[in-house]
Amino acid sequence: MTRRVVYACGLWLTVACTAMTIASIIMPRWASFTPNDERKISMGLHSRCHSDGTCEPFPSEEMCEKDNYFCSMWRTVGFLISFDVVLELCTLVSFAVIIAGGVQRRAAGWKIICGLLLFSGFVQCAGMAIVAFLFEHHERFIEGWYLDASWSLVTASWALLVLTSLAIAASALYLPPEGDYELIPDDQFEVMQDEQLLSRVGAWNDGYYRGDGTVGYQQERMFDNESESSSIRK
């Protein structure tokens, strides 16, 4: 069973992944060009910056007219990473709801959390893979280009999301129930029920005798019958 401390650790790890994803969008450092050990151009998902500090929208409309393939692929990466931020925020809300809930919600909520984490990691991995594919095969990336900090942040983020999902699933499957309660085996429970039933049947057939010295219900019925008979005779 997944405990509250496991969810709390998963929550903080997801917060870290969300911060890394947002930083990768803000920083224009997905790929950089350093021909002489000096960064001259750095490309982000939505902007391209030069060594003099000036930045411009990227990819531009003019670039998309000349190279529609690269433009479409790069914009797809931007959409995937932005969509992934929404998924991570939804995951954080799910963590908060499950942690604030009771034991039953924590016992069943791990499936939702793991599903969101895995899906978020898959989306980030797809965006990272597209950039890596373009870097390896597109003619734009000549010698001197390299994958920069933003690409590394997304790589670390999706790997951490997947590992967090696996850890939560493992804790749900292998940790003992919260509070160290143990279930009574079915066969033992049936034996206990049979013994209780037999004892009640025996008490019904033989009558009972209370520990304070008073008579049981059979004797009480006999006394009641005798009193009714005597009253009729009178």
Which domains does the chain show, CATH number per domain? 4-174 (1.20.140.150), 189-233 (no CATH)
Regions of the chain short of the pLDDT cut 70: 1-2, 177-234
CA distance 44 to 28: 3
This prediction has a pTM of 0.73
* Structure tokens that stand for 22 in this block: 């947002």
Q: Who's near 179: CB < 8 A, 6+ residues apart?
A: 103
Report d(CA 86, CA 124) in Å as an integer. Answer: 12
- pLDDT tens per residue, range 51-107: 888 999 999 888 899 899 999 999 999 999 999 999 999 999 999 999 888 788 888
Q: Backbone dihedral region of 217: left (phi > 0), alpha (psi from -120 to 50 degrees) or beta?
A: alpha
The one-character DSSP state at 211 is: T
